[in-house]
Amino acid sequence: MAEVSASARPVTLPVIDPGPPERGDAARNRGRILEAARRLVAERGAEAVTTDDIAAAAGVGKGTLFRRFGSRAGLMIVLLDDDERAHQHALLFGPPPLGPGAPPLDRLLAYGRARLSFVDSHFALLSDVGRDPQTRFNAPNTLHHSHIRVLLEAADTTGDLDAQAAALLALLDADYVHHQTSERGRTLEDLGDAWEAVARKLCGT
Amino acid sequence: MAEVSASARPVTLPVIDPGPPERGDAARNRGRILEAARRLVAERGAEAVTTDDIAAAAGVGKGTLFRRFGSRAGLMIVLLDDDERAHQHALLFGPPPLGPGAPPLDRLLAYGRARLSFVDSHFALLSDVGRDPQTRFNAPNTLHHSHIRVLLEAADTTGDLDAQAAALLALLDADYVHHQTSERGRTLEDLGDAWEAVARKLCGT
């Protein structure tokens, strides 16, 4: 193997298959495409937004969009994933009562309302990305299940914590929430109140 | 229109489009096909059972099977529907504690265990018939939701009964139960105990 002196080595060398380096305009295009997609999805619902619309709104060519995200589905997954990550960060590291520092029951109740709001505002994306029955019990649901379970335990909840976390999580399922708001005339506040009442009963308060 | 004297009228006349009258051997074939299908599905799981297998086990030709049920999917739906109907009959009209006559909380607890057992033994069929997200909130789930809600109400449960019924129903979802038993090593008895504990907390006992 040929020896290369450290000083002569280009900075990208240690990275395995880095692909073309992301230049400033590539990063800008990526940001623009995500921002345009997020805005259009919010305005029209995911199902009514095409890659043509997104590319036009971002001021980039369609080829650029596909080079950055592979496909329409790929773009939608990145969009949802970005928001899901920010949401999870708020639960785990954000200010109380959602984040650490508040009593566990207060955190649990804050979580229920925050998650309801998230699944409501992201229903179009959640629905669009596609729901394999398998994914219902895997990430990111696993993280949410764990989060509820940890808070139930910290609140000294008795009994089978997995089942109780699953029951609470079911009331935050995107399909369930959408069905309740769109076909049953329930508001997010109704659903938040109902969730709080169930959580309080399970925690024994 | 030609007049037909009542006495001369064949007994099938008032029925609109009765199709060919079901002769004794046709009814027998239908029963045999369903019985063979139910046995093979129980032995091998629905996905491993073909219409060839069912026709052979029932001792009928494949043409007979398709004439009676239209398609493999049609046969699976009839099979599930027959069992679901018998199960619902037991809830609504059968002996206590599942049926009427026992106190509402006892009926609710008996229901949880009976339904767990049903979705466990029918998972292959439930999975095979196909699950549109829409159907999750429609019949037969509507009936089960109502049944739980009625019993919660009769047990003087406080708070939002719809949300509490939905939370309890989620723990009886076929995918959830299958995931718990096949990937989490939970038994039906574990799940029944957990369900009972949640139901008792919601009912305030």
Q: What is the pLDDT of residues B78-95, one digit of tens each?
A: 888 888 999 999 999 999
Chain centroid, CA B81 distance in Å: 5
Nearest CB to A136; choose among B175, B193, B198: B175
Last residue of a domain, one of B47, B70, B93: B70
The tokens describing B169, both together, are: 């129903």
Instruction: Take residue B129 and report the two structure tokens written for it.
Output: 């018939």
Mean pLDDT, range B54-74, rounded to an integer? 93
Which range among A92-101, B127-136, B140-149 has the greatest average pLDDT? A92-101
Helix axis angle, A104-121 relative to A188-203, nearest 10°? Answer: 150
Q: Do A62 and A93 fall into the same domain?
A: no
Please tell me which of the candidates A162, A175, A184 has its beta carbon nearest to residue B136. Answer: A175
The answer on A101 and A61 residing in a single domain is: no
Are residue B90 and residue B153 in the same domain, yes or no? yes
Q: What is the pLDDT of residue B76?
A: 87
A137, A159, A171 ranked by CB distance to B167: nearest: A171
The partner residues of B134 in beta bridges, in order of sequence, read none
Three state DSSP letters for B100-119: ECECHHHHHHHHHHHHHHHH
In a domain? residue B97:
yes
* Residue from B162, B160, B148 nearest B199 by CA: B148
| In-domain check, residue B16 | no
CA distance A7 to B92: 81
B9 within a domain of the structure (yes/no) = no
Domain identity same for A65 and A85: no
Same domain, A45 and A92: no
Residue B193 and residue B168 share a domain: yes
| A118, part of any domain | yes
**B65 and B99 together in one domain:** no
Last-in-domain residue among B70, B87, B104: B70
Q: Cβ of B197 and A160 within 8 Å?
A: yes
Min Cα separation A83/chain B (Å): 23
Interhelix angle for B24-44 vs B62-69, to 10°?
100
Q: Can you give the pLDDT at residue A126?
A: 83
A185: in domain: yes
Residue A150: its pLDDT value, please? 97
> Residue A149 and residue A152: Cα distance in Å, rounded?
5
Mean pLDDT over A29-55 rounds to 91
A150 and A105 within one domain: yes
pLDDT of residue A47: 82
CATH number of the domain residue B32 falls in: 1.10.10.60
Q: What pLDDT, in 10s, does the model give residues A46-65? A: 888 999 999 999 999 999 99
| Confidence grade of residue A18 (pLDDT, cut at 50, 70, 90) | very low
The token pair that represents A163 in the structure block: 């089942």
* Domain finish residue from B70, B104, B129: B70
Q: Say whether both A95 and A171 belong to one domain.
A: yes
A59 and A120 in a single domain? The answer is no
Say how far apart CA B153 and CA B81 lie, in whole Å. 28
Do B178 and B122 share a structural domain? yes
Percent of residues, chain B, with pLDDT higher than 90: 61
Average pLDDT of chain A is 85
Asked whether residue A12 is assigned to any structural domain, the reply reads: no
| Assigned domain for A195 exists | yes
* Res B17: pLDDT: 46
Its domain, for residue A112, covers 81-203
Residues of A in contact with B195 (CB under 8 A): 163
> For chain B, what is the domain count?
2
User: Chain A residue closest to B176 (CA)?
Assistant: A137
Looking at the predicted structure, is the pLDDT value of residue B139 above 90?
Answer: no
| Full DSSP string of A9-60 | S-TTTTSSS--S---HHHHHHHHHHHHHHHHHHHHH-GGG--HHHHHHHHTS
Each residue's pLDDT tens digit, A129-162: 755 555 555 556 889 999 999 999 999 999 999 9
Confirm whether B2 is domain-assigned: no
B38 with B93, same domain: the answer is no
Helices marked H in B4-140? 24-44, 51-58, 62-69, 72-93, 104-121, 123-129
| Cβ pair A159:B202 closer than 8 A | no
